[in-house]
């Protein structure tokens, strides 16, 4: 499905087993073109969310998992790779890394710089 909140709710009501929004059009390898919508679907869904289609790089799979997707479905990127076995391993590692980052509750990006180290109490006068 195209990433759409209304359709997500309709699929919930219809008894779907999972929600499978596209990252980008099938076979394009363009990644997560509608990140904001994918994030919102992940937030509201009571069902597993599988980002399906368009993922072309392991880093894109990791990003989907960091956002909270339950899984990714990757075909074209692996099937068209010069080394599909190595590509599959790279995607497996990326999915694991993305899931671990999600579970670690990594800090969100900030608009402005902010020191992460304490600014008081570490220098003695």
Residues written for the chain: 125
Enclosing H/E stretch for 13: helix 5-14
pLDDT in tens, 7-36: 889 888 899 899 999 888 888 888 898 889
pLDDT in tens, 81-114: 999 999 999 999 999 999 999 999 877 777 777 7
pLDDT in the model for residue 1: 77
pLDDT in the model for residue 124: 60
pLDDT in the model for residue 108: 76
Helices (DSSP H) in the chain: which residue ranges? 5-14, 35-44, 58-67, 76-79, 84-103
pLDDT in the model for residue 123: 57
CA–CA distances in Å: residue 115 to residues 14, 104, 112: 48, 20, 10
Over 90: is that where the pLDDT of 54 sits? no
Ordered by start, the domain boundaries in the chain are: 5-103
**Mean per-residue pLDDT, 111-118:** 73
pLDDT in the model for residue 120: 62
Fold of 5-103: TIM Barrel (3.20.20)
Under 8 Å between Cβ of 98 and 63: yes
């Amino acid at each position: 499905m195209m990433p759409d909140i209304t359709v997500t709710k309709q699929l919930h009501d219809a008894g779907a087993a999972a929600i499978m929004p596209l990252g980008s059009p099938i076979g394009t390898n363009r990644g997560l073109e509608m990140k904001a919508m994918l994030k919102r679907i992940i937030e509201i869904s009571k069902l597993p969310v599988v980002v399906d289609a368009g993922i072309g790089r392991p880093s894109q799979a990791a990003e989907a998992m960091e956002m909270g997707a339950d899984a990714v479905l990757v075909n074209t990127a692996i099937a068209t790779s010069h080394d599909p076995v190595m590509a599959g391993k790279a995607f497996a590692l990326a999915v694991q890394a993305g899931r671990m980052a999600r579970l670690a509750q990594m800090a969100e990006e900030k608009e402005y710089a902010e020191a992460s180290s304490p600014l008081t109490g570490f220098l003695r006068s």
